Amino acid sequence: VRGEGGHLLNPRTGHRFMPDIDPRAELAPRDVVARAIDAEIKRDGLDYVHLDISHQTPEFVKHHFPNIYEKLIGLGIDMTKEPIPVVPAQHYTCGGILIGLDARTDLPGLWAAGECTESGLHGANRLASNSLLECFVFGEAAAHHIARHWDALPPVPPIRGWDESRVTDSDEEVVIKQNWTEIRRFMWNYVGIVRTTKRLERAAHRIANLAKEIEDYYGSFRVTTDLIELRNLHQCADLIVRSALKRHESRGLHYTLDYPDTDPVAKDTVLVP
């Protein structure tokens, strides 16, 4: 909506604030826009800001944003006549499994594509528009590489049968929900749009506290999708915080008040779980 002329407004004053922040206004990079919205919300104690495209014709809006229009109508908002309440939110991981142009990882026999990878295409701010294109490009690259080297692939190692004889069904599902909620909350508060070393250290402390609890739970009860996702969530949070603490600069979506400038030469941050 921003890309098609939508204006970001303070809902209390009606002021369009992006031209005050950047000459590109709403078309500034997403990290700039996200920080501007965050600052506006925190300064005035708001729950959201408004994204207004009602100055365009209804036909234009419905043609360009049919799905958004229908979704908002279901929520009681007509975007052709009134503004949309918006807040920044995480929806894509900038970083992941390191791959080459053929989608190979450093683990023989494993290829990867999509959001789980660090392909180098999107940089520190995912500027390459639709991330689905990356899945197509590297999915095809992986398929071609596997087909060319199929005969040289090592045989699949024997895998032991899954043994659940020493575990039981969980009697404390609330633990998973509590840990999940806790990670999401402190990652938003301490590792969100604007970071500081102190906030990151607080997040690292909480991640360390949760590690044994999650692993004990994982080893004691029958594995469920929610438990696996909690374990993955915790591991991902740990990697994000460790990476952020090692990067003593601001770059792309990583913006820290303690190191607001960008180093002239980018440094790789490659970590393992």
- Judged against a pLDDT cut of 90, whether residue 58 lies above it is answered with yes
Which residue intervals of the chain bear CATH 1.20.58.100? 163-273
Count, residues in the chain: 273
> Is 30 considered catalytic here?
yes
The structural architecture, per CATH, of the domain 2-86 is Alpha-Beta Complex (3.90)
- Judged against a pLDDT cut of 80, whether residue 44 lies above it is answered with yes
Tell me the C-alpha distance between 50 and 45, whole Å: 14
Work out the pLDDT band at 129, boundaries 50, 70, 90: low
Indicate the residue type of 130. N
> How far from 48 is each of 37, 51, 60, 190, CA to CA, in Å?
8, 10, 25, 19
Tell me the C-alpha distance between 137 and 117, whole Å: 13
Which residue intervals of the chain bear CATH 3.90.700.10? 2-86
Per-residue pLDDT, averaged over 57-72, amounts to: 97
Work out the pLDDT band at 127, boundaries 50, 70, 90: low
> How far from 10 is each of 36, 197, 209, CA to CA, in Å?
11, 30, 39
CB 242 within 8 A of CB 204: yes
CATH no. for 163-273: 1.20.58.100
CB 206 within 8 A of CB 182: yes
Cβ neighbours, 10 Å, residue 51: 18
Name the active-site residue from 2, 12, 24, 30: 30
Query: To the nearest whole percent, how much of the chain has pLDDT over 90?
Result: 66
For residue 43, what are its two tokens?
A: 């300064």
